[in-house]
Each structure stands twice: as structure tokens, then as C-alpha cells.
Chain A
Amino acid sequence: DAGVIQSPRHEVTEMGQEVTLRCKPISGHDYLFWYRQTMMRGLELLIYFNNNVPIDDSGMPEDRFSAKMPNASFSTLKIQPSEPRDSAVYFCASSFVQGEQFFGPGTRLTVL
């Protein structure tokens, strides 16, 4: 298996623009997680899905953030409108049941 795939790897955008991050989990995994990593706050869980259903979105910072999982092999995290404080590395991870979580390479987002 290719592991968790994320795209794009790098994104530079201007404040106010819409940003969409994409993730393909490992085939057969039933949990998908979105995290954000910054120097100040470390790794934070934003939202996670089980069998394509959002279970806990309490980590989503505000209404500008939204996530979807239309099927078992694809998820998106959207920020609209983006702000400079959203600059961070965004990771997607997947797992089977409550097992080991496998992380993607991350998307480095810079909002100017």
C-alpha cells in the first residue's frame, strides 16, 4: 500500500482565498483524522471520521474550517476564507478500529 496520500504538499495563498486540502487514507482503514501542527501549539486534532461519518469536530477552530468525507477513500479539509494565522502543517492520518495511526506527509500551508 502507498500509505496515506495528501495533496498538495505545499500551498501558498493570499489571505481571503479558499484553500482545499486532500487526503486519501490507507485502503481498509475505517478512521480518518485531520491534524494541524504549529510551533506554538504542537499537534492538534481538528476532526475525525469513522466510516465516513464525522464523529468529533470539536477541534475545528472556527466556522471557516470544514471537512468532508464523501467516500472511504477520500477526504477534504477546506478553509474559507483563509487567514495568516491558519499557516501550519496539516496532517491526515488513518487507522483501523482503534489501532495504530498512520500519517501522511502533510501539507505545508502558508497564508500571506
Chain B
Amino acid sequence: KQEVTQIPAALSVPEGENLVLNCSFTDSAIYNLQWFRQDPGKGLTSLLLIQSSQREQTSGRLNASLDKSSGRSTLYIAASQPGDSATYLCAVVYGNNRLAFGKGNQVVVIP
């Protein structure tokens, strides 16, 4: 069974600092990895999708890397802003198109 871990569960950073969020998964046989953002009481917004053959993916201030062999992905958010405060979820697609989620990193950016 695929297990996805995100540590730490919660973190606070001052505005302007770069954010680094880590995700690890137990089974390296994945099709892709997706990072989501969830605001309190809201649904999930897809941020980045990395195919298993890719090493990284970038969108604006966001950059996600994937090291499939070691079962790790990292999401970098450059120059964090208070609007980046949210929970960030990592999910991997494996097996027959199943998606396994981590429990998320709850981020607070302090103005």
C-alpha cells in the first residue's frame, strides 16, 4: 500500500522567505505526483503536476522537484506572501490510477 508523508504538519515563516515543503512516498512505482493547495473550508486547487519521467515542474513562484527513486518530492515557494497561507497537499498516482494523499503541510506566512 502506498503511503505518503508530509513533515512538518505545520510551519510558520516570515513574509519574503522561501518556503520548502517536503513529501515522501513509500512505493516508487508512481505515474505522477500532484501538489494541491487547500484553503480553510474550501476544495483542493491543483498547483503542479509532475509526470514520473520528469524531474521538476515550475509555475510562477512555485517549483516542484521529484526524485522517484528515493520517493521524495519538494515544493518550493519563492518569496512567500501572506496569501500563500494555506494547507499544501502532496498526492501520488499509482497502481490503477489510484491517488494517495499526504495529510498536508499547514503553512502560515507572517506579515
Contact = CB atoms under 8 A, between A and B. Distances in A.
Given A91-B43, A100-B46, A55 B99 contact: no
The prevalent SS among residues of B at the interface is strand
A103 B46 CA distance: 8
Interface in B37-89: 42-46, 49, 89
B89 A101 contact: no
Interface string B90-105: 0101001111111110
B34 A100 contact: yes
**What band does the interface of chain B fall in when counting residues whose beta carbon is under 8 Å from A?**
20 to 34
**What band does the interface of chain A fall in when counting residues whose beta carbon is under 8 Å from B?**
20 to 34
Contacts of A91: 43-44
The prevalent SS among residues of A at the interface is strand
Contacts, number: 47
Given A105-B43, A106-B43, A48 B49 contact: no
B28 interface: no
B22 interface: no
A56 interface: yes
A101 B34 contact: yes
A103 B39 CA distance: 13
B89 A43 contact: yes
B106 to A, nearest CB: 12
A31 B81 CA distance: 35
A35 B93 CA distance: 14
A42 B93 contact: no
A45 B42 contact: no
B24 to A, nearest CB: 15
B99 A101 contact: yes
Interface of B: 31-32, 34, 36, 42-46, 49, 89, 91, 93, 96-104
30 contacts: A31-B97, A42-B101, A42-B102, A42-B104, A43-B89, A43-B91, A43-B101, A45-B98, A45-B100, A48-B98, A55-B97, A56-B96, A91-B43, A93-B44, A98-B32, A98-B93, A100-B34, A100-B49, A101-B34, A101-B46, A101-B91, A101-B99, A102-B46, A103-B36, A103-B43, A103-B44, A103-B46, A104-B43, A105-B43, A106-B42
